[in-house]
Amino acid sequence: MAGAGGDKPFAKASPSPLSRVLRISQLDAFELDGALEQLVWSQFTQCFQHFKPGLLTPVEPELKALLQLLLWRFTVYSNSATVGQSLLNIRYKNTLIPGEKYRPMSRPQKFWFALLTVGEKWLRDRSNSLFLNHPAESNARKARKVLAILTGLTKVASLVNFLLFLQRGTFPTLTERLLGVQPIFSRPQGPRDINFQFLNRELLWHGFAEFLIFLLPLVNVWKLKASVTALLSPLNDLRGTKGSEETYCTECAICGEWPTMPHSIGCNHVFCYYCLKSHTIADVSFTCPKCAAKAGMIEPVTIHVGTELHQI
């Protein structure tokens, strides 16, 4: 009887509140967290843009750590979730306490989380300046070598942990695995209703946009504009004595300004020399934008200004 309704059992089914989070969602949360940190830092540095350049450089690692601690205080410490996880309906669960019921992160886990994330970034940024200006046989140089070895081992362990995450879908970072915290959904995830008509429309417009992006660079817009302008222009504009040495146009057919070093391509329109030269180099089949005449020999022209004759 339960199956008589056809789709009713599927409609009633809903995942458990503690169901696993998709791998891509966990990685997206890290990307959102990184973008937020960069945004906060950029906004913070803009407050000092009118001060002396390099003012924040000596204490940049400490300032970044302070801003990250502020974010940690109002996200992980308060809600057991980062900003990226909150946007994706995710939060951390304490897996050290057995049971299906949700258990938030304990206070020691939150403090260790801050130490292993914020502290690790600060130590990585500050390590270079901490061990400078020390003799080669000093304890500081030895500590630096030990730190480099530990960093290498940590990277190897992080790589192994990430491979395990890709296989099992849990604990994407080494910090989460060490602390025993696992991302879960904050609220139950219901079945998604997919509208294939909407998807088809999006795919159609996406394909059309890609086609336009491919086609538009192949179109000679300048020549097309010149052809349309020539068709719409009066027939009188196309008539004239092409062999005349004098041209009574007082503006460049390209830039519309008074022609500098006026030249002509054989029609009754005048061009700035640099406008004409640059366009003929860019377009081998350049035509006049006013009358669509093909470019011939580029020759200087004579312009009348008032009652005086100026030969350029």
Q: Which residues contact 27 (CB under 8 A, 6 or more apart)?
A: 172
Q: Which residues contact 285 (CB under 8 A, 6 or more apart)?
A: 220, 223, 294
| DSSP conformation class of 234 | -
Would you say residue 28 has pLDDT above 80?
A: yes
Rounded (10°) angle between helices 60-74 and 23-46 = 130
Task: Note whether 64 and 121 are within 8 A (CB).
Answer: yes
Query: What pLDDT, in 10s, does the model give residues 64-77?
Result: 999 999 999 999 99
Question: Residue 7: its pLDDT value, please?
Answer: 41
Q: DSSP of 138-179, one letter per residue?
A: SHHHHHHHHHHHHHHHHHHHHHHHHHHHHHH----SHHHHHH
Using 50, 70 and 90 to split pLDDT, how confident is the model at 194? low
Q: Which of 156, 192, 152, 187 is nearest to 174 (CA)?
A: 156
Least confident of 21-35, 187-201, 210-224: 187-201
Would you say residue 17 has pLDDT above 50?
A: no
Task: Note whether 48 and 41 are within 8 A (CB).
Answer: no
One-letter amino acid at 74 equals F
Alpha-carbon distance of 99 to 90, in angstroms, equals: 19
pTM, whole model, 2 decimals?
Answer: 0.56
Would you say residue 2 has pLDDT above 60?
A: no
Alpha-carbon distance of 237 to 182, in angstroms, equals: 77
Task: Pick 248 or 96 by higher pLDDT.
Answer: 96
Using 50, 70 and 90 to split pLDDT, how confident is the model at 190? low
Question: Residue 309: its pLDDT value, please?
Answer: 45
φ/ψ (deg, to 5) at 308: -100, 150
Alpha-carbon distance of 189 to 79, in angstroms, equals: 19
H helix or E strand, kind and range, residue 305: strand 302-305
Question: Residue 77: its pLDDT value, please?
Answer: 93
Question: Residue 68: its pLDDT value, please?
Answer: 93
Q: Which of 92, 88, 89 is nearest to 80 (CA)?
A: 92
Q: Which two tokens stand for residue 130?
A: 């901490």
83-101 b/e with 16+ CB inside 10 Å = b?
Answer: bbbeebebbbbbbeeeeee
303 forms beta bridges with 310
